[in-house]
Structure 1
Amino acid sequence: MAMSWPEVIFYLGVLVLATFLGSVVIVGMFDARKARRQADQADDLRRLVQRFEQLAETTLDAQQRVAADLAELRSRTASIEQILRTVE
């Protein structure tokens, strides 16, 4: 069964349209995957920043406690030195 030129042109047009639509769907899927991956990376980064901030706060608190303890020890040491000087 031979096809006429209008039929051939019609089928080629359908083929081109189907190829175009398939390409659009594939590109859309890749873009959606890329957007999802970027959102996941942003969430991971957000969690990392929150963890860093918590660690920074904990470190700052520890530094302040150590500084207060050191100041108290210096004060006690000065008091002990004062007592030792008066005893001599």
Structure 2
Amino acid sequence: MTLSWPEVIFYLGVLLLVTFLISTVVVGTFDARKSRHQADQAEELRRLVQRYEQLAEKTMDAQQRTAADLAELRSRAASIEQILRTVE
């Protein structure tokens, strides 16, 4: 079977078209995976920031409670010192 030049050119064109289409699908797949990976990283970062904010809020609450407790203990210690001075 011999092919004429127009047939060879036609088959080469079809081969180039198929190669182009396969390349487009492969590149699209890689871009989709890259986008999904970036979205996953962004979501993970958002969760990490949210956890940090919650931890910071809890820490601030604990610091405020500790400061209030310390102020109350100082007040009690001052009252006890005053009582002890009056007893002497």
With the length of structure 2 as denominator, give the TM-score of the two structures. Answer: 0.97
Superposed counterparts of 1:1-88, under 5 Å? 1-88=1-88
Give aligned pairs, total: 88
Residue 87 of structure 1: CA displacement? 1.2
Identity of aligned residues (%): 81
Residue 60 of structure 1: CA displacement? 0.6
Q: How far apart, in 2, do the equivalents of 1:23 and 1:78 lie?
A: 81
**Could you list the runs of 5+ residues in structure 1 that have no partner in the other structure?**
none
Q: How far apart, in 2, do the equivalents of 1:59 and 1:44 lie?
A: 22
Q: How far apart, in 2, do the equivalents of 1:16 and 1:30 lie?
A: 21
Moved over 4 A (4+): none
Q: SS state of the match for residue 3, structure 1?
A: coil
**Could you list the runs of 5+ residues in structure 2 that have no partner in the other structure?**
none
Q: How far apart, in 2, do the equivalents of 1:11 and 1:85 lie?
A: 109
With the length of structure 1 as denominator, give the TM-score of the two structures. Answer: 0.97
